[in-house]
């Protein structure tokens, strides 16, 4: 691109930080146009849920490291083009004009410690600018990050050589684990919202989990208070110390960020289900399988160029009903996890957990009145065929593939329409997790 000088091509970490200051919600789209996988962009957001600027800097530094071999001038060309693609021509022009460049000697001194020579598969460690201290240098192997003007010292947790080792795995317990299934089918205050025939889902999931070695507790038709009580009892009274993992599956109507009790009162997913389990003293990894709607939209799909139109033969397919309000969640169609060993006593609060949602945020979850829901039946099939041999992330990738390939038919204004569903996974695992125990390996 004409007009890009070598000086302007010097995109320092400071430049990226200043750019992050002016970017808004379009930063996710920018990451996609910069060639980053969507899951990488989503993970930047998940790592800094309350600090968009930090998430943007993570994303930009990740892109800069990934494209380091192209040279700084080519990086500026790509960044300018991507900014234009997301309709931020103003920022594209500023990058071209060198407005974000910090020239040595023209401002406060800056310490930059970004290592661009990282082999593929190594742990990604990001660097951020801070005010340099005149009387102290950062110790070797550390990173400085900004925190509203205060320098934070982040020590690397893993030697570089360890990152080239095979992906770590969670230790196996004496038993595979305990599982809690909550399946709400009958809603006395709204009989028309009864989830017909959904006994099959909890029955089939219970059977396949027992086959894998889980000890399963199944609860049917719980109101909101009973759901919270069942979660607390599962955490506080069950012994999970000998388990490889634990599993919780909730099947019910969904309303945005709530799972509905049979009294049609919401149970907060994060506050009342995920958080009490993830934040508990239970050491083993946690698996959540959530069969519920997350909004009121149907997904009628989009045609692939290489796909033929499926048959329009209607099937007896219906969908969970819910209102259309929803929380912002990660959308992920093909999540891959960078497994990183972290051997220290203090761990991130949300680590060692994985959540499988039936559908994308804002969408309806499909179920058949006789055959069960698309998600749970896909989980049952995949767990039955591959559950003893593959790690949970690979299993859930198979589940997402099964769900996406399902063609359901519903009646819309008197005409049959094909509808689709995309399951979503949120992964906070640090290692590979296998549904095994010491006796069956």
Rounded CA Rg of the chain: 24
Same fold? 13-164, 175-440: no
Give CATH for domain 13-164.
Answer: 1.10.533.10
Q: Which of 65, 25, 17 is nearest to 45 (CA)?
A: 25
Contact 358, 365 (CB under 8 A): yes
352-407 confidence digits (pLDDT tens):
999 999 988 888 888 877 788 899 999 999 999 999 999 999 999 999 999 988 87
If one counts every other C-beta atom within 10 angstroms of the C-beta of residue 153, the result is 11
Distance CA 433, CA 210 (A): 18
Q: Which fold has domain 175-440?
A: Rossmann fold (3.40.50)
In this predicted structure, the answer to whether residue 69 has a pLDDT above a threshold of 90 is no
Calculate the CA 82 to chain-centre distance.
24
- pLDDT at residue number 20: 83
Better-predicted residue by pLDDT, 64 or 109? 64
CA distance 190 to 264: 8
pLDDT at 391: 95
pLDDT in the model for residue 362? 85
Q: Read off the tokens for 141.
A: 């192997």
Centre a 10 Å sphere on the Cβ of residue 125 and count the other Cβ atoms it contains. Answer: 20
Percent of the chain with pLDDT over 90: 33
Q: Which of 141-155, 209-223, 311-325 bottoms out in mean pLDDT, i.e. has the lowest?
A: 311-325
Give the per-residue pLDDT at 261.
Answer: 94
- For the range 204-211, what are the long-range contacts, defined as Cβ-Cβ under 8 Å and sequence gap of 24 or more? 204/372, 204/376, 204/377, 204/380, 205/181, 205/249, 205/289, 205/376, 205/379, 205/380, 206/179, 206/181, 207/380, 208/379, 208/380, 208/383, 208/384, 208/387, 209/179, 209/247, 209/383, 211/384, 211/387
Residue ranges per structural domain of the chain: 13-164, 175-440
Could you give the C-alpha distances from 37 to 40, 183, 291, 335, 336, in angstroms and in order? 5, 35, 26, 9, 10
Residue 412 DSSP symbol = E
Eight-class DSSP state of 143: E
Give the full edge-to-edge strand order of the sheet including 372-373. Answer: 317-319, 366-368, 372-373
CA distances from 400 to 180, 237, 302, 335, 365 (A): 22, 33, 17, 10, 13
Residue 64 neighbours by CB distance under 10 Å: 21
User: Residue 110 pairs with which residues in a beta bridge?
Assistant: 131
- How confident is the model over 197-210, as a mean pLDDT? 93
Q: What is the pLDDT of residues 103-122, one digit of tens each?
A: 444 443 333 333 333 333 33
Q: How far apart are CA 346 and CA 195, in angstroms?
A: 43
pLDDT for 378: 93
Angle at which helices 52-66 and 38-47 cross, to 10°: 140
pLDDT band (50, 70, 90) for residue 157 = low
8 Å CB contact between 175 and 188: no
pLDDT at 111: 36
Could you tell me the pTM of the whole model? Answer: 0.57
Instruction: Please name the helix (run of DSSP H) or strand (run of DSSP E) that holds residue 27, with its range, or none.
Output: helix 27-33
Instruction: Specify the pairing of strand 317-319 against strand 353-357.
Output: unpaired
pLDDT digits (tens, 9 = 90+) for 205-254: 999 999 999 999 999 999 999 999 999 999 998 999 999 999 999 999 99
Summarised one tens digit per residue, pLDDT across range 412-428 is: 777 888 888 899 999 99
């Amino acid at each position: 691109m004409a007009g890009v000088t070598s000086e302007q091509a010097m995109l320092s970490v400071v430049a990226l930080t200043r750019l992050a200051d002016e970017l808004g919600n379009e930063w996710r789209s920018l990451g996609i146009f910069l060639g980053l996988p969507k899951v990488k962009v989503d993970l930047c957001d998940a790592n800094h849920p309350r600090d968009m600027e930090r998430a943007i800097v993570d994303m930009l530094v990740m892109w800069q490291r990934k494209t380091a071999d192209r040279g700084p001038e080519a990086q500026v060309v790509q960044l300018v083009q991507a900014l234009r693609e997301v309709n931020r021509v103003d920022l594209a022009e500023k990058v071209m004009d060198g407005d974000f460049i910090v020239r040595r000697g023209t401002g406060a001194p800056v310490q930059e410690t970004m290592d661009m020579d990282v082999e593929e598969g190594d742990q990604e460690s990001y660097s951020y600018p801070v005010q340099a201290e005149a009387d102290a240098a950062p110790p070797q192997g550390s990173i400085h990050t900004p925190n509203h003007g205060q320098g934070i010292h982040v020590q690397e947790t893993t030697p570089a050589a360890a990152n080239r080792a095979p992906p770590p795995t969670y230790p196996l317990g004496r038993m595979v684990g305990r599982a809690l299934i909550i399946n709400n089918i009958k809603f006395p205050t709204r009989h028309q919202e009864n989830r017909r025939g959904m006994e099959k889902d909890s029955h089939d999931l219970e059977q396949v989990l027992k086959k894998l070695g889980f000890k399963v507790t199944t609860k049917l038709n719980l109101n909101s208070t009973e759901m919270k009580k069942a979660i607390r009892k599962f955490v506080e009274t069950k012994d999970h110390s000998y388990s490889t993992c634990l599993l919780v599956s909730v099947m019910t109507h969904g309303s945005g960020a709530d799972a509905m009790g049979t009294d049609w009162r919401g149970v907060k997913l994060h506050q009342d289900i995920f958080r009490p389990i993830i934040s508990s003293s239970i050491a083993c990894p946690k698996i959540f399988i959530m069969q519920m709607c997350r909004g009121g939209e149907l997904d009628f799909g989009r045609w692939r160029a290489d796909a033929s139109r499926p048959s329009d033969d209607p099937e007896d397919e219906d969908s969970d009903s819910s209102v259309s309000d929803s929380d912002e969640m990660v959308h992920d169609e093909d999540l891959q996890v960078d497994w990183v060993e972290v051997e220290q006593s203090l761990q991130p609060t949300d680590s060692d957990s994985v959540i499988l949602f039936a559908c994308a945020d804002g969408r309806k979850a499909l179920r058949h009145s006789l055959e069960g829901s698309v998600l749970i039946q896909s989980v049952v099939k995949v767990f039955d065929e591959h559950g003893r041999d593959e790690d949970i992330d690979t299993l859930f990738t198979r589940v997402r593939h099964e769900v996406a390939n399902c063609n359901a038919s519903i009646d819309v204004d008197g005409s049959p329409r094909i509808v689709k569903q995309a399951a979503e996974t949120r992964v906070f695992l640090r290692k590979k997790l296998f549904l095994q125990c010491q006796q069956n390996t």
